[in-house]
Structure 1
Amino acid sequence: MHTVDKAVDCAAKLLAMRFGGTPQLTHPEDLGGSGASMVIRCRVAPNPFLQERSVVIKQLPDFPSDGEQVDGPTADELALIREIVAYQYTNTLPEHSRPGPLLLAYDVEKHMLILSDAGDGLNFTDVLLMNDADERKTAVRKLGRALGRMHATTYGGAESYNTLLRRQCQKHGINPSTIVDSDIDIANLVREGVNLMEANDVHIDPIVLQYANEAAERQGRFDFRSFTPFDLTPDNIMLTKQVVFLDYEWASFRDIAFDVASVIVGFPQDHSTPALTEEECTEFLSAWSAEVSHVWPETRDFDRVVDKLMAPLIGWALMSLVMLHRGNKMSRKASRRIQHSSDTRYRGAADIALLTPEQASDLATTVDAIHRFALHYPNPRFEAVAKFTGILSQILARQGGHPMRHEP
């Protein structure tokens, strides 16, 4: 059982091993954490070996947390390795382009990370619930710039990331393919979502199906791939002096369009915040495009950006349906850990009917955002998308699902 005192003592020893001296950590402040994780901020007494004036300690629970004996690394251990590698990679980036805090020290056996302190600020849950439309617009513009800067800066860095991953796996006796195989299989989830729709007799227009197939096929392409945390939830994004991204347990190099789409649809599987308004969406996309256009010149054409985003938008709706569907039998945390599955056949319309009102509202927010996106931006192919999302919205409404959004 981890306690604050034990975590602080362990962190001080790790910092001493890493930097030398005898760092003193005082005034521990519990910042909360996801699940059973413990996140603590401590002040650092003046120390010639360590320049940080405060640090953040992240202590994960013992693995496996359910008490079962398992052979090989658990999903939690693999996620910790992935998070360490992600921080090691982002540590190499220039300070003005670094998307998150510095990794100062870590211990896999003790399930601990020690990070630089990103400072106080608002998380994006608070930002997106603001009543002031101008403040929200400014914040989403900053988010677009920060996300674009991360994507542009890390383009072409996959080999460096993979080298760090191989070294970390070798250090801990893990086959790198185990990490790769444990990753979220976006293409498979999208295809399962199509199958689930069809099994529930939901008609999918051929144009919508084309977008879904494109979303799956994009996962095998490398021309639009950069570093992405993937788990972009409002609680993992802080607005301090700059926008800071936290929690890299699902970080990797993927199609960055899925990051952009995730923000537009209101962060799928997070039911606490509304999706962006049409005006906020335009501000966000314009800011993001301005940061990435020197790497991907095609993003200077706004209409082209909008068209290319429809595939990952549809992809998120399908992925969310599958994750929420399986979430009936798992915790929310476990439902995010769907990897590969051969179970792509579902029976009867009762499957979607199993969604709870909260789950239906979660998905309805995503679907409503796609519907408004399709209606707002002129594109002849979007008419079919609007019809599809309209039908799906009616199905979710029967389950008690009501989209969360800012009313004008």
Structure 2
Amino acid sequence: MTVDTSSADDSTVGAGAETLAVAAAVAAGESVLTRRFGSAITLVAPEDLAGSGPATVVRARVASSPFALPRTLVIKHYPDPPEPGRPDPFAQEAVSYQLFTALAPEDRMCPELLAHDGRDRVLVIEDLGGVPTLHDKLHARDARGAERALLSWARSLGRLHATTASREPDFNALLRRLGGPVKNEDAPLPAVCAQLPGLLEELLDVETPEPVQQRVMEVAERAGAPSYRAFSPVDLSPDNNLVTSGGVRFLDFERGRVRSTLMDVAYLRLPFASSADALALPPGMSEAMIAAWRSEVVSVWPGLADEDALAEHLMDGQLLLLWVLTWEILPELDLDRHATPISREAALVTWWRELAKHSLRARLTHISEHATRVAAALGARLGPHADLAFYPAFR
């Protein structure tokens, strides 16, 4: 007898797979904790936290343990190994947590790593509880609360950079132990930047003058220099940041690595620009965030106490991040329809306008003129409403 399953409820099948994944994560968590502490530890009442990456993320309660463990823990289980030649998100995350767990508690800008195992590809970390994320704060109707959260985020980012500025050898050594590749850039920055002028000409009919290309390539090369390097979570989306009573704490280090802070500091000018739903901040907010970030890093990089040096660092980061984002985003955009104020299209127009404004202030006339032409070409294609809206907290 043949059973016809073509009409089966896909949601039921999916729910079964999720249940099995949660059970596997709990079993892996119990196993690594038992090996770590030398006695059986039982976890119960698992809650699927629906992680967006390759890991199954589960909160579970410690039912029985002879040790003083927290009441609840978070388990991240990576059941599938990476494709050959690809970075391993488990290794990146495990090493990132190891790096921070070795620091003093006041310098730890993330939950504490309690146990991990490369064989089971599992991490068990501290549960910070049901506190709001930065995304929650930006989408609530409390402008003051959102401002405080943003300044806390900027300070935490600065503290993260300051405490890891000299830790690249440690990070690389830990990564080698877990078999992860030390060099883990998404794409070579000079190669990416070299491709954008062709895209701008093909899709927007905007030429990129040689002085502009030369400046961008210099910045891209500078991003590989040893100065101003520190750990970066890379994925700085607002929903990956918890707003705790002790300040903002970072989550999700699946792409974490040491790199130039040029890319991170650019988020102070282009807030959370890599997020698909990135919106705008009110005037003055970016400047306040920059001041909060600098207050944490100036003891490590005293050169940034100089206003001109800081302005150049910010300008370089903004320029580089926008070129990379445009290279990624532009080919995927629908340039034949009017943009809404909460669209990716509106974001790109606004960011090029911001680059034009800041580069003009820096007396980089060739950069400003080029950015103005790109913004105008985008605006002409996307209509009169291609202005990025504020986050709901500031409307």
1:276 partnered with 2:281: yes
Find 1:254's aligned residue among 259, 262, 285.
259
Asked if residue 368 in structure 1 is aligned to residue 350 in structure 2, the reply is: yes
Which runs of structure 2 are paired with 1:24-173 in the superposition (5 Å)? 24-35=42-53, 37-45=55-63, 47-63=65-81, 72=84, 75=86, 78-169=88-179
245, 265, 272: which one aligns with 2:270? 265
Whether contact under 8 Å (2:49, 2:58) holds in the other structure is: yes
Aligned equivalent of 1:311, options 309, 313, 316: 316
Code of the residue aligned with 2:248 in structure 1: it is V
Decide which moves more: 41-50 or 151-160: 41-50
**2:236 corresponding residue in structure 1:** 232
1:348 paired residue number: none
8 Å CA contact retained: 1:268, 1:363: no
Following superposition of structure 1 onto structure 2, how do residues 319-338 of structure 1 map, counting pairs within 5 Å?
319-325=324-330, 328=332
Q: Normalised by the size of structure 2, how large is the TM-score?
A: 0.82
Are the counterparts in 2 of residues 90 and 100 from structure 1 also a CA contact under 8 Å? yes
Q: Distance in 2 between matches of 1:383 and 1:210?
A: 14
Q: Residues 337-348 of structure 1 correspond to what in structure 2 (within 5 A)?
A: none
Match of 2:377 among 395, 401, 405: 395
Give the SS at the match of 1:45. strand
Q: Deviations over 1:295-338 (max 9, x none)?
A: 11122234432232112212112111222256x5xxxxxxxxxx
Does structure 2 retain, via aligned residues, the 8 Å contact 1:187–1:216? yes
What is the CA-CA distance between 1:56 and the residue it aligns to? 0.5
- Aligned CA distance change for structure 1 residues 372 and 294 (closer, same or farther; 3 Å): same
Shift of 1:293: 0.8
Matched-pair contact (CA < 8 Å) for 1:269–1:363? no
Residues 16-50 of structure 1: CA deviation (Å, up to 9, x unaligned): 11112222212222222104532111122363334
1:194 match: 197
Shift of 1:288: 0.5
Q: Deviation per CA, 1:333-373: give whole Å up to 9, x if none.
A: xxxxxxxxxxxxxxxxxx98599969993254255245336
Shift of 1:127: 2.1
- Would you say the 8 A contact 2:48–2:57 is kept in 1? yes
Q: Do the aligned partners of 1:158 and 1:253 also contact (CA within 8 Å) in 2? A: yes
Larger Rg belongs to:
2
- Residue in structure 2 matched with residue 14 of structure 1 by the alignment: 32
Contact 2:277 2:343 in 1 (8 A): no
Tell me the CA shift for residue 154 of structure 1. 0.8
Rounded to whole Å, the distance in 2 between the matches of 1:79 and 1:194 is: 32
Shift in Å, 1:158: 0.9
RMSD between aligned residues: 3.1
Give the conservation status (yes or no) of the 8 Å contact 2:352–2:372.
no
CA contact (8 A) 1:269 1:320 kept: yes
Please tell me the residue identity of whatever aligns with 1:103.
L
Structure 1 residues 78, 358: CA separation in 2 closer, same or farther (over 3 Å shift)? farther
Q: May I ask how many residue pairs the two structures share in their alignment?
A: 370
CA separation in 2, counterparts of 1:81 and 1:46?
29
State how far apart, in whole Å, the 2-side matches of 1:185 and 1:249 are. Answer: 19
1:219–1:257 distance in 2 versus 1, CA, 3 Å:
closer
For 1:180, what is the secondary structure of its paired residue? coil
Q: Is the 1:266–1:365 Cα contact (8 Å) retained in structure 2?
A: no
Q: Which one is further off, 114-123 or 102-111?
A: 102-111
Taking structure 1 as reference, are residues 133 and 391 closer, same or farther at Cα in structure 2, changes over 3 Å only?
Answer: farther
Q: Secondary structure at the match of 1:113?
A: strand
Partners in 2 of 1:286 and 1:395 — Cα distance?
33
CA 279–376 in structure 1, closer or farther in 2 if over 3 Å, else same? farther
1:376-391 equivalences under 5 Å are 379-391=361-373
The 10-residue stretch of structure 1 (204-213 or 115-124) with the greater mean CA deviation from structure 2: 204-213
Which has the larger displacement, 98-107 or 379-388? 379-388
